[in-house]
Amino acid sequence: MADNCLFCKIAAGEIGELVYENDHVVAFRDINPVAPTHVLVIPRKHISTINDLDPVDAEIVGNLYLAAKEIAAAEGLAERGYRATMNCNADAGQSVFHIHLHLTGGHAMGWPPWPEKG
C-alpha cells in the first residue's frame, strides 16, 4: 500500500463500499458520477499512472477489463454499451494517482471527445 493513497485505502477495505472484488481488483461507485452508472475499477496493487506500468503488470491491466466486463453485465450495460476509460496525467484530467478504469454508461455518449475541434 502506498502512503496516503486514497484508492489503496479503499482497496484495503478501510473506507467505502465495494461493488465488486476479486484477488486482483476492486470496484466502487464514483463519488461524483458523470454518467447514470459510473464505477471505478482499480488494481489492488498501487500503480500511479499508465506511464508507470511495467510488463509484469500486463495481467493486472487485463484483469481490470475482465472485471469491467462483469460489472457492465451486472449493471445491465453489456448490450447497450459503455466506456471503460483510463485517464493519464494532466491533459486527461487524472486527479487520483492510483490507476483506475472509469466504467461509465446508462446513456448515449458522444464521440470524439475533442469539443474545441469544432
Q: How far is the CB of 22 from ligand AMP (least distance, A)?
A: 19
At 82 the three-state DSSP class reads strand
Q: Is the dihedral of CA 85, 26, 54, 4 positive or negative?
A: positive
Residue 49 touches ligand AMP, criterion: CB under 6 A = no
CA separation for the pair 103, 76 (Å, rounded): 12
Residue 95 touches ligand AMP, criterion: CB under 6 A = yes
Cell 458520477 appears where? 33
List the grid coordinates of 34. 458523470
Residue 31 touches ligand AMP, criterion: CB under 6 A = yes
Stretch that binds Zn ion, among 17-25, 58-66, 81-89, 94-102 (CB under 5 A): 94-102
Catalytic residues: 100
Residues binding ligand AMP (CB under 6 A): 6, 16, 28, 30-32, 40, 87, 93-96
